Chains A and B, each alone.
Chain A
Amino acid sequence: MSQAPLLSVENLAFERDDSCLFSGVNFSVDPGDVLQIEGANGSGKTTLLRMLTGSLQPSAGNISYLGQALSACRYDYLSDMLYIGHQPAVKLNLSAEENLRWMVATSAQSNDVSVKDALTQVGLAGYTDLPCYALSAGQHRRVALARLLISEARLWYLDEPFTSIDKQGVAFLQSCLQQHVAKGGAVILSTHQDLSLTGLRRYKLVSDVEAIA
């Protein structure tokens, strides 16, 4: 096994319009880790996650994947990563099944769990053919989360995955995360929930704006 961590972040900072949102963020993630990003509203949790996906450029600092800078291994890194953002990326005019099929077709690695099975597991068995505008917010989130069951990516970035999900859903998602880290995956998520997962670590994001005040 290589010495370099799966993902490591050094001295990451983000500035916008001359004001610094956060700086000096350091952590590393190995297979089997769950890292919970904590912080007040507006402290930059979503920004940090989007930075990890490569869609935002950090103002300073480095992100490296298996010891390599992201720019040097962009394809491998993005193939090994799954990001579910604040917006579930669910098209209201398509059915749950069509949405998931499209998401799977555009993602790099997938296992042999079928789309129908995944939707059944997340509790949408009777809803697969309905257009998504007929479903609730929590059900939209479940459609997006069904991707987790099909994905073979090792790094999962989940931005507030528990939003509008009921208690059973929260329990299911936690067991899903637990299975993922047991298989050698890693999860970085932002949430305000108290999680009971083995391998859980917390990282408190302190906004610079807050620190000055």
Chain B
Amino acid sequence: MTSHVARKMDSGFAAWLRRDLLLAYRRRGEVASPVIFFIMVSTLIPLGLTPEAAELEKVAAGMIWVMALLATLLSMDALFASDYQDGSLEQMLITPQLLPLPILGKVTAHWLTTGLPLTLVSPVLGLMMSLPNAGYVPLVCSLALGTACLSLVGAVGAALTVSLRKGGLLLSLLVMPLYMPVIIFGTATVSYAVDGLNWLPPLAILGAMFAASVALCPLAAAGALRVTASN
């Protein structure tokens, strides 16, 4: 075509990341709800269970991890839902770029707006749950890696259920088994540290899970979205 046409296309990653972050900023209240849920439930546990530090410190790591997982799960089904309704998902499917890249952009935006805030507030909750001092660094490290895995794996479930009008429950059932290894090694990282053991091995396994999810989940989600679109 004409000579002034510039092929200035980016991979799609940056454009979708920027758009989703901007959208999240516009809907701050909605986007903050998983974090608020996380804080509220973790505040209620000492009240409902026991305020005794000796009792609480046994369950602290596990409880914080369970809450982080549920908070992420709650926010997962909104990942593609509104794009599906207003036609932007269709536009995403017909761009010439490799589909996993825009998806990775969206998932990154999701993690930056849910997983990262959860990770950042977790030390405060650890304080409330009388987490022993040795547990804080491992808690933050394991949540940072773990919530990224949760966002990536959840994206596959969200992609599979996007065309269902009430896909929320199905999504939870689909991704729950895949979330289990994450929570097992996440809590292990913290409890090893609290028990004075070397906590790097379980963290390394979380890291491996994260690496595998980054490589595979966008591909799986892309495949799932293509199937969804052809219906």
Residues of A in contact with B (beta carbons under 8 Å apart): 50, 53-57, 74-76, 78-79, 81, 83, 85-94, 98, 102-103, 105-112, 131, 152, 154, 184
Contact = CB atoms under 8 A, between A and B. Distances in A.
B23 A91 contact: yes
B90 A75 contact: no
A56 B195 CA distance: 56
A105 B15 contact: yes
A152 B86 contact: no
Which among A79, A105, A106, A152 has the greatest number of chain B C-beta atoms within 10 A? A106
A88 B87 contact: yes
B5 A109 contact: yes
Contacts of B102: 106
A149 B111 CA distance: 35
A131 B27 CA distance: 12
B22 interface: yes
A83 B26 contact: no
A85 B26 contact: no
9 contacts: A86-B87, A89-B87, A91-B88, A94-B22, A94-B26, A105-B10, A109-B7, A110-B6, A152-B2
A106 B92 contact: yes
Contacts of A85: 87, 90-91
Interface stretch (B93-101, B124-132, B144-152, B201-209): B93-101
A75 B96 contact: yes
Contacts, number: 96
Given A56-B230, A105-B15, A89 B88 contact: yes
Q: On chain B, which size bracket covers the interface?
A: 35 or more
Given A78-B95, A106-B16, A87 B90 contact: yes
A111 B1 CA distance: 11
B99 to A, nearest CB: 11
B2 A108 contact: no
B91 A103 contact: yes
Contact of B96 (A74, A88, A91, A154): A74
Contact of A53 (B6, B8, B94): B94
B91 to A, nearest CB: 5
A90 B86 contact: yes
Given A56-B230, A94-B23, A111 B5 contact: yes
Interface string B158-189: 00000000000000000000000000000000
B200 interface: no
Contact of B94 (A78, A131, A154, A184): A78
Contacts of B14: 105
Nearest to B27: A93
Contacts of A93: 23, 26-27
B88 A107 contact: no
A74 B97 CA distance: 10
Contacts of A55: 90, 93-94, 226, 229-230
A152 B5 contact: yes
Given A106-B9, A111-B4, 6 more contacts: A57-B230, A93-B27, A94-B22, A102-B18, A105-B14, A106-B91
3 shortest interchain CB distances as A-B pairs = A87-B87, A78-B96, A105-B15
A83 to B, nearest CB: 6
A142 B226 CA distance: 28
Given A78-B94, A79-B96, A108-B9, A98 B15 contact: no
Contacts of A87: 85-87, 90
Contact of B90 (A78, A89, A152, A184): A89
Given A57-B230, A74-B96, A93-B23, A110 B8 contact: yes
Nearest to B96: A78
Which among A54, A98, A105 has the greatest number of chain B C-beta atoms within 10 A? A105
